[in-house]
């Protein structure tokens, strides 16, 4: 696994997500590198309030792993957070799809 600081340096100027409403603010790795912030943005992705970029998907893969993020989301679901998808495999498929849609 890559050193986390190297991953941050690799993605520091790349747009990882974009807000779908309002100012279309861009979201960078400083927000995605903090677990609580990442989970907040993933919930917004679930609610269609942001769009994940291909770089965003790749950052999540490199910095956390899709499996770890899926487990983090499942933990949130156990605590009452409402997501459309309820299994690890469904969440991983959803994240991949969201990152690939923006790449087209």
pTM of the model: 0.89
CB 49 within 8 A of CB 40: no
Q: Which residues contact 13 (CB under 8 A, 6 or more apart)?
A: 28
99 burial level (CB within 10 Å; 0-12, 13-18, 19+)? buried
* Angle of the 66-78 helix axis to the 35-46 helix axis, nearest 10: 80
Return the pLDDT at 1: 55
Domain span including residue 89: 4-103
CB 27 within 8 A of CB 17: yes
Return the pLDDT at 100: 82
Sites in the chain below the pLDDT cut of 50 = 103-104
What is the count of structural domains for the chain?
1
């Amino acid at each position: 696994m890559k050193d986390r600081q190297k991953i941050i340096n690799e993605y520091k100027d790349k747009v990882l997500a974009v807000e779908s409403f309002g100012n279309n603010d861009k979201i960078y790795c400083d927000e995605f590198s903090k677990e609580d912030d990442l989970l907040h943005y993933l919930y917004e992705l679930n609610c269609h309030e942001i769009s994940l970029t291909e770089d965003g998907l790749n950052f999540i893969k490199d910095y956390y792993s899709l499996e770890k993020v899926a487990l983090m989301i499942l933990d949130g679901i156990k605590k009452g957070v409402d997501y459309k998808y309820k299994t690890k495999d469904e969440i991983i498929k959803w994240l991949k799809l969201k990152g690939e849609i923006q790449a087209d």
